[in-house]
Chain A
Amino acid sequence: MENKDVRDGLCESLPDATGCEKGDEGPGVLDRRDLISHLLKLGAGGLATYLGAHALLNATSAIAKAGQQHSAHAKQKYRYGMVIDTKRCVGCRACVLACKAENKTPPGVYYTVVFDQILENRPYDKPTYMTKPCFHCEFPPCVDVCPVSATYKREQDGIVVVDYDRCIGCRYCMTACPYSARWFDFGENYPAVEEHTPYAQIPSQEYNQFRKREPDQSPIGNVRKCMLCMHLQDKEGKYDRKSGRWPACAKTCTGKAIHFGDFMDPDSEVSTLLKERQYIRLKEELGTSPNVYYLI
């Protein structure tokens, strides 16, 4: 009942939302029923079923299509992501620390990590470095497996977030993420928090929820991940580099390897870089379509 009420409420506020059209089919359904009974009398029930199913299928696919376009164009204002220049990365790990300072993540939770690898047969060359945040995939497999819809992709800007109060901590999303971008908060603490220093009293800005770290309280027992420092967005959902409202890792990158921006804006730095340079995305074959590109 509650759900229905909520949906009705939604339909009032968003008359053109998907699923709200169903109610409008009222008279149409009645007509069809009459038609079917007539046809049945004529002994053409089979034909009617076929026609009915066909019409229904067409209608559903049309609704689904409309829904897709709807979410792709009308609601989404930004498509935030990153372009990471592997040639400029020096492996300093400033991004890892900046992220930790910004989001106050505990030990064992790393919204971004830096890989380093010595190239095969080229032991004296500069190793390859690669920083890896969450990729905020267009088709995030983690979202689809969450049994309680606690993790979802935000419609307005494509950021994949976790609702700490909804999440039950089953960790299915962690198994489903092909990029190991999710971390479970076991409740461990750095000494500064463990020893109740003044630092421990400062709440985390994450999601603008300003949570203090308390035993057994979320986000302990939750799955955590990079959310592109969403708390730095303004009311319209925009970031501003000049005033410092910019994801911590990109802001701090010493080699200027991490470029952050909006792929919906064709003139943004990230869009331009993709036009000019060769790039790859990791594990394209899985169909996740990541929003983090690596320049090579």
Chain B
Amino acid sequence: MSVSEWLGNDGTIRKLKVTFWAVGFVLFGVGLAGWYLRLSTGHLDANYGSIVTWGLWVASYIYFIGLSAGSFLVSSLVFVFNIKKYEKIGRLAIFTALVTLIMALFSIWVDLGHMGRSWHVMMYPNFKSPMAWMIYLYSLYMLLLFAETYFLLRHDLVVGSRAATLKGRVYRWLSLGSKDDGEAAALRDRKIVRVLATIGVPLAIMFHGGVGALFGVVAARPHWHSGLFPILFLLSALVSGGALLTVIASVFQDGWTRHRDVVVSLGELVLGLLVLDVIFQISEFLVTYRGGIPGHMAGMDMVVSGPYAWVFWVWQVVLGTIIPIALLALPTRKNTHYVALAGVLIAAGIFGLRLNIVIPGLAVEELHGLTWAIVSPRVNPSYFPSATEWLLTLSLIGFGMLLFGWGEHFLPHFKKETGEEA
């Protein structure tokens, strides 16, 4: 039995799903220690300071929110541009966008100095701040995602709510009292979804471009201060979102058996986006290094030759870029297992990219000698996340996996759509 055959059978998929659940539970459970430490000791256990003032949690936040924007934009291929090829992943893409958005919001919430004051961002917005814009835009985006998910599932929820089981009762609750399961209502739902998805495209571009702008406008940090930043953020979002969906389609949408074409075609899409993303990044490096301004080069130097250069060279370049590009360009691109592997590598690689945006941008001293002038662990240019930071992040990943797994398992079957319409 060859590897492909072994991976291709349904038993393996079942094993993969069991592994998925197990990993989700373990990460979530172990990571609860991180939550406990964060909530009981505040920021005392965190390793960021007044120099590298944003750390793993902010990097995770921009990563998760990028996954969300990326998944959502890929879903628009189905709900806005009506590309039949990707139809099977439409619902899962929307649900992925919702789950990763929730993960992102938790991630940034624990990073706040005063978690209890998060409502201030709604009550006292300063619209000169890109952060305020971002917050308002992603709040709108979240409402839109909830609405779109609701209208995508409403018909099936209504049908399912007739069962006298617990599931039926939850469905009744989730269908928000709607009882109409007629064709006309279903058609109306589809129209609403189309309108929402269409509004969502510019919204997702604005809010995630806004996340890029949040960094880009900071003139004090030459590593961030670039007109390419909002666009780079969007591209990386599309790449990571597309890559994640490739993996999800493989495991949860029969991507290795009945629907190989979906995975293969997603692989092509992701390859194109990744190459574009790489071109943009190379452009950033070339202009900075040929420009030769020391302050501008310092951040890049930190990325390519600093203490965490391995994050760039091994994680980002080799694992996250070169190997997946090879897998997706060589004849292996027809093999769904290799495409899924490329998806895993890319999705992980973009996390390295996010880390390499946040930390080197801050680790470069703004005024030469500042970190020698004060001897304090909080005035330190080198940063490695603490156990609390790691644990809490793992817990969020576990939480996201469980939430996704629950939705995939419990909500009206994503698979049914594919089974019937295929």
- With an 8 Å Cβ cutoff, the count of chain A residues facing the other chain is 48
Bound Cα distance from A141 to B221, whole angstroms = 12
Instruction: Please determine whether B378 and A179 come into contact, CB atoms closer than 8 angstroms.
Output: no
Interface presence of A97 (CB below 8 A): no
Establish whether residues B53 and A107, one from each chain, have CB atoms under 8 Å apart when the complex forms.
no
Residues 122-174 of B contacting A (Cβ, < 8 Å): 123-126, 128-132, 135
Partner of A117, one of B46, B114, B368: B368
Specify which of B220, B376, B377 is in contact with A286 (CB 8 Å cutoff): B220
In this assembly, does A200 line the interface, its C-beta being within 8 Å of a C-beta of chain B? no
Determine if B218 is an interface residue (Cβ-Cβ < 8 Å).
Answer: yes
State whether the Cβ of A183 lies closer than 8 Å to any Cβ in chain B.
Answer: yes
Given known A-B contacts A107-B378, A174-B53, A216-B42, A180 and B114 have beta carbons under 8 A apart: no
- Do the beta carbons of B379 and A171 come within 8 Å of each other? no
Residues on B with C-beta less than 8 A from A149 are: 124, 126
Q: For the complex formed, measure the closest distance between the CB of B127 and the CB atoms of chain A, giving whole angstroms.
A: 9
Q: Is the CB of A108 within 8 A of B218?
A: no
B113 partner, pick from A117, A132, A169, beta carbons under 8 A:
A169
Question: What residues of A have a CB within 8 angstroms of the CB of B369 in the complex?
Answer: 115-117
Q: Is B50 at the interface (CB under 8 A from chain A)? A: yes
Q: Which residues of B contact A188 (CB under 8 A)?
A: 44, 378
Is B51 touching A180 in the complex (CB atoms < 8 A)?
A: yes
Q: Are A166 and B124 in contact (CB under 8 A)?
A: yes
B49 at the A/B interface (Cβ < 8 Å)?
yes
Residue interface mask A123-153, B partner, CB < 8 A = 1:
0000000001000000001001111111000
Tell which of A46-54, A201-209, A218-226, A257-265 binds the partner.
A218-226
Q: Which of B171-206 contact A (CB under 8 A)?
A: none
B373 at the interface (CB under 8 A from A): yes
Among B113, B361, B362, find the residue whose CB has the most chain A CB atoms closer than 10 A. Answer: B113
Binary flags per residue of B344-372, CB closer than 8 Å to A gives 1, else 0: 00000000000000000110011111100
Bound-complex Cα distance A146 to B120 (A): 11
Q: CB within 8 Å of B: which of A78-116?
A: 107-110, 113-116
Tell me if B118 counts as interface (CB < 8 A to partner A): yes
Those of A181-239 within 8 Å (CB) of chain B: 182-188, 215-216, 218, 220-223
CB 8 Å contact bits of B369-398 with A (1 = contact, 0 = none): 110011011110000000000000000000
Indicate whether A72 reaches chain B with its CB closer than 8 angstroms.
no
**In whole angstroms, how far apart are the Cα atoms of A286 and B217 in the complex?**
12
A11: B residues at CB distance < 8 A:
none
Known: A108-B49, A178-B220. A146 touches B44 (CB 8 A): no
Q: Which residues does chain B contribute within 8 Å of A187, judged by CB atoms?
A: 42-44
Given contact pairs A147-B135, A180-B365, A223-B113, enumerate 16 new A-B contacts (beta carbons under 8 Å).
Answer: A107-B378, A108-B49, A113-B370, A115-B367, A116-B373, A117-B369, A144-B129, A168-B117, A169-B112, A170-B112, A170-B113, A172-B214, A175-B218, A178-B220, A179-B366, A185-B113
Binding site for A on B (CB under 8 A): 42-44, 46, 49-51, 53-54, 111-114, 117-118, 120-121, 123-126, 128-132, 135, 214, 217-221, 361-362, 365-370, 373-374, 376-379
List 17 contacting pairs A-B, 8 Å CB cutoff, sorted by A: A108-B50, A113-B374, A114-B373, A148-B124, A148-B125, A169-B112, A171-B54, A174-B53, A175-B361, A175-B362, A177-B366, A184-B43, A184-B113, A184-B378, A186-B46, A218-B114, A221-B112
